[in-house]
A = this chain, B = another copy of it.
Amino acid sequence: MASKNLSKDIEKIAPSTMADVVETRLREYLKRKAFKPGDALPKELELAEALDVSRNVVREALSRLRMLGMIESRKKRGMVLAEPDILGGFERVMDPLILDQNTLQDLFELRLVLEMGLADVLYTRMTDKDLKELEQIVGKEINKVQKPFKVKYEIAFHGKLYQMTGNETFMRFQNMLLPVFEYVVSEEAKINGEAKVGKVTHRDLLELLKTGGPEDFRQGMKEHLSPHFERMKR
């Protein structure tokens, strides 16, 4: 009987595919009907009936949207549309060990682009208090090449720069990118030896912030990051 092998000859539609479809359908529906944060969603059962799928599949799809912060449950009101966390999904997958090489390289470069681009926002927003705090961070740096220290100071210094932009999304984004950046640098070091360090130090960058303008700072940052830019050209 031909039908005996049918399940081998024709691929099953995986349950995941169904959740994918329902998830997409729900997002389209919310967008088309211009749902705004706070608006109540139809109940799970109603959605299942309208979509003609099982409640389990609807629950799966809703759970995905809940993870992204797009919906939340409110007492007595049921599910409502919420203001999503823009970086939540990004944060969850930002693990160097599971990202492919191309993506790691892309993120490495993305961080370079951000560092080179931040000067204008930085100069618009930074305060004297910020500069004092940055001074303290630079003061704590010891000229040791020991790896764990180096990374710690990198995070402290560059993290503070991003904080000084007053842009929270930007700051979080950078905090997620930095571990990937350090990972790429250290993997590279295993093959080609330790990366050289740019001539412009954190202290030099601080002085530029105090006395120079965005262009000076940018030139300093480019020199500070020059070993990484060199790496990119290879």
Is A51 on the interface with B (CB-CB < 8 A)?
A: no
A128 located at the interface, meaning its Cβ lies under 8 Å from any Cβ of chain B in the complex = no
Give the residues in chain B near A212, CB-CB below 8 Å: none
Residues on B with beta carbons closer than 8 Å to the beta carbon of A31: 95, 97
Smallest CB–CB gap between A50 and chain B, Å? 20
How far apart are the CA atoms of A117 and B107 in the complex, in Å? 14
B112 touches A114 (CB 8 A): no
Q: Could you tell me if B60 and A23 are in contact, using CB atoms closer than 8 angstroms? A: no
In the complex, whether A9 has a CB less than 8 A from a CB of chain B is: no
**Is A1 an interface position by the 8 A CB rule?**
no
Residues on A lying within 8 angstroms of B by beta carbon are: 11, 14, 16, 19-20, 23, 27, 31, 34-37, 56, 59-61, 63-64, 66-70, 72-73, 75, 81-90, 92-95, 97-100, 102-103, 106-107, 109-110, 112-121, 124, 165, 167-170, 173, 215, 218-219, 222, 229, 232-233
What are 23 A-B pairs at a CB distance below 8 A?
Answer: A19-B67, A20-B66, A20-B67, A31-B97, A35-B98, A56-B56, A63-B63, A63-B64, A64-B64, A70-B93, A81-B98, A83-B100, A86-B93, A86-B106, A88-B93, A109-B165, A109-B167, A112-B117, A113-B114, A114-B114, A116-B120, A215-B215, A215-B219
